[in-house]
Homo-oligomer: A and B are copies of this chain.
Amino acid sequence: MNDDDQTTLDATLASAAAAAASLRDVHPAIRADGLRAVAAELEAEAPALLELAERETGLTRPRVTAELARTAVQLRLFADVAQAGAYMDARIDDPDPNFVLGTRPALRRCLVPLGVVLNFAASNFPFAFSVAGGDTAAALAAGNAVVVKAHEGHPMLARATASITRGALHRAGLPEGTLSIIEGREAGVSALEDPRVDAASFTGSTAGGLHLAAVAAGRPRPIPFFGELGSVNPVFVTPARARLPLDDLAAGYMASVSGSAGQLCTKPGFLFIPRGTDIARAISALPPVAEHRLLTAAIASGYRTRRDILRTVPGARSVLEGSVTENAGHLWATPTILMTDLSTLIERRDTLLDEAFGPLSIVVEYDVNDASRLAQVAAELFPGNLTGSIHIARDDDESLVRELHSTLGRVSGRVIVNGWPTGVVVTPAMHHGGPFPSTTVDATSVGTAAIHRFLRAVAHQDTPDWMLPPALQDANPWGIPRSYSHAGESIGWGSGGPA
């Protein structure tokens, strides 16, 4: 970075740190109002934002429209979470002269914001995982200031969103510096190294995420780095399911592979199905999928290279050839479906298993006699994924299904039955995370539980009421739920024994 850029970054981080200091004491209802105001103002500016999003990302109008709606819902959901305050997990231990181990002091504990959260925006969700997306909503709901490293794939949309978001937050009474954006990889790394930053979140490639995770861990004061990296989301079709008609299955598979040109972290990269089914015919019989622009030059070139490699692997053949064509400075693609068998997959795992980010997926045929090996295959070949899916039918071998399903629950964060992994709903029970390397820390970045990434606990011992944070004061001025341990409750924990 040149001196000017460094000065700008420094001012941004100073402003974020100052905002974080005053946000700690802001009533959660004010934070909630801010989030709701952002939602409303984004919706009010939708025509211009959608136009920008479509132009900069190549995503379709229906897709970005739905994504903006999701983003607004997400902001309102986190507003509710902030205001309800249960996320603070406030706990109050009354002082207890009869505590089983001697006098117990007055202890009060709650979760507090970390300070400044640096959020690396993703390319593939210009609203939902970008400036005002889920990570930002969760971090703001928790009471942090947020600095977003804008993605270079949609700079104008990022700036427009930031401007709207900052304005809405400011009008809602939140401090200057509550949200800001920075641009450029160098600024992103520099911010990640800065002592004023307390945590970071990231959605993107495995290589990029691991690099940034190492930066976060290598600081004099390491900070939590919540990276969502690659995932190939295997789907397993059981023998009994494969004996039923395959048309719906093929259609669901293709929709999940080709939606948003496959540029989704939950795109099914592998479909396991018994040899001898007519899946190739069922896929080929589907109506052709229209060409879709790829998000960025880097993604397009990565996809083309990866596709070329996969198409020449001995033992892999094309079911759908697909296309990658250049037009007006962009790459456009139609889905490519390859087919191979389990032994080739195992033999050539080093080549075949990496994520192909784009509309490509691999059908893997297994011998029906090998069905009992599928759980082991899932454990060994797919040890860390966001999702795992299983398509079952009434006539299945129950123990096979149980074992495979239970294995998928160990190696992935969300297990889907008779459905597809794309289309991540924003709800309390969502988990969008998984064992390494799908995430660097197995925590969710979607759904209300995502707020827990951006909090830490503080306990206050024997503290006069006026010195306590509002969440822990006797009068409970924030009106949050709190759990109590009353004096005398510990009697049963002791024993009459010699100790």
**Would you call A470 an interface residue if the criterion is a C-beta within 8 Å of the partner chain's C-beta atoms?**
no
Complex contact B419–A105 (CB within 8 A): yes
Given the interface contacts A73-B493, A441-B224, A460-B415, does A430 sit within 8 Å of B40 by beta carbon?
no
Q: How far, in whole Å, are A499 and B132 apart by their CA atoms in the complex?
A: 15
Given contacts A70-B101, A73-B101, A456-B442, contact A499 B415 (CB under 8 A): no
Contact status of A429 and B107, CB under 8 A, knowing A73-B493, A414-B458, A459-B415: yes
A409 and B112 contact, CB distance less than 8 A: yes
Nearest B residue (CB) for A43? B497
Q: What separation, in Å, do the CA atoms of A40 and B495 have in the docked complex?
A: 8
Within 8 A of B (CB), among A423-482: 425-431, 433, 435-437, 440-444, 449, 456-464, 467, 469
Once A47-B498, A467-B402, A494-B73 are accepted as A-B contacts, the answer to whether A101 and B383 lie under 8 Å apart by CB is no
Given A43-B497, A47-B498, A101:B419 Cβ within 8 A: no
**Complex copy number for this chain:** 2
With A224-B441, A458-B431 already in contact, the answer to whether A498 and B417 are too (CB < 8 A) is no
B436 touches A221 (CB 8 A): yes
Within the assembled complex, what's the spacing in Å between the Cα atoms of A221 and B410? 14
Which of A402, A428, A444, A490 is the most central at the interface, judged by chain B CB atoms within 10 Å of its CB? A428
Q: Is the CB of A109 within 8 A of B458?
A: no
**Within 8 Å CB of A415, what residues of B?**
458-461, 463
A105-139: contact bitstring with B at CB < 8 Å (1 yes, 0 no)?
Answer: 10111001001000000000000000000000000
Docked CA distance A221–B93 (Å):
39
Nearest chain B residue, comparing its CB with the CB of A469: B409
Give chain B residues whose Cβ lies under 8 Å from the Cβ of A426: 101
A268 at the A/B interface (Cβ < 8 Å)?
A: no
Task: Name which of A61-69, A325-333, A334-342 contacts chain B.
Answer: A61-69
Any B CB within 8 A of the CB of A413: yes
Q: Determine if A217 is an interface residue (Cβ-Cβ < 8 Å).
A: yes
Q: Once the chains are docked, how many angstroms separate the CA of A320 from the CA of B132?
A: 58
A240 within 8 A of B: no
| A431 in complex: contacting residue of B109, B412, B418, B449, CB < 8 Å | B109
With A417-B463, A428-B91, A458-B415 already in contact, the answer to whether A499 and B46 are too (CB < 8 A) is yes
Q: Known contacts being A436-B221, A457-B442, is A429 close to B73, with CB within 8 Å? A: no
A260 to chain B minimum Cβ distance, whole angstroms, is 15
How many residues from A make CB contacts under 8 Å with B? 91
Asked whether B427 lies within 8 Å of A383 as measured between CB atoms, the reply is no
Contact across chains for B433 and A457 when beta carbons are under 8 A apart: yes
**Contact status B458-A413, CB under 8 Å:** yes
A346 at interface by CB-CB < 8 Å: no
Give the contacting residue for A430; candidates B99, B107, B490, B494; CB below 8 A.
B107
Q: Which residues of B contact A39 (CB under 8 A)?
A: 495
Q: Which residues of A contact B (CB under 8 A)?
A: 39-40, 42-44, 46-47, 50, 65-66, 68-70, 72-73, 76-77, 80, 89, 91-93, 99-102, 104-105, 107-109, 112, 115, 217, 221-224, 383-384, 401-402, 405, 409-410, 412-419, 425-431, 433, 435-437, 440-444, 449, 456-464, 467, 469, 483, 485, 490, 492-495, 497-499
Q: Could you list some 18 contacts between A and B, CB below 8 A?
A: A43-B495, A46-B497, A46-B499, A50-B499, A68-B499, A73-B490, A221-B437, A412-B458, A413-B457, A413-B458, A415-B461, A417-B462, A418-B462, A419-B461, A429-B485, A430-B459, A433-B457, A449-B457
Known: A428-B485, A431-B457. 18 other contacts (CB 8 A): A43-B498, A73-B493, A76-B492, A91-B449, A92-B429, A101-B426, A104-B425, A107-B425, A107-B430, A109-B449, A221-B384, A221-B436, A405-B467, A409-B469, A413-B456, A413-B459, A415-B461, A417-B467
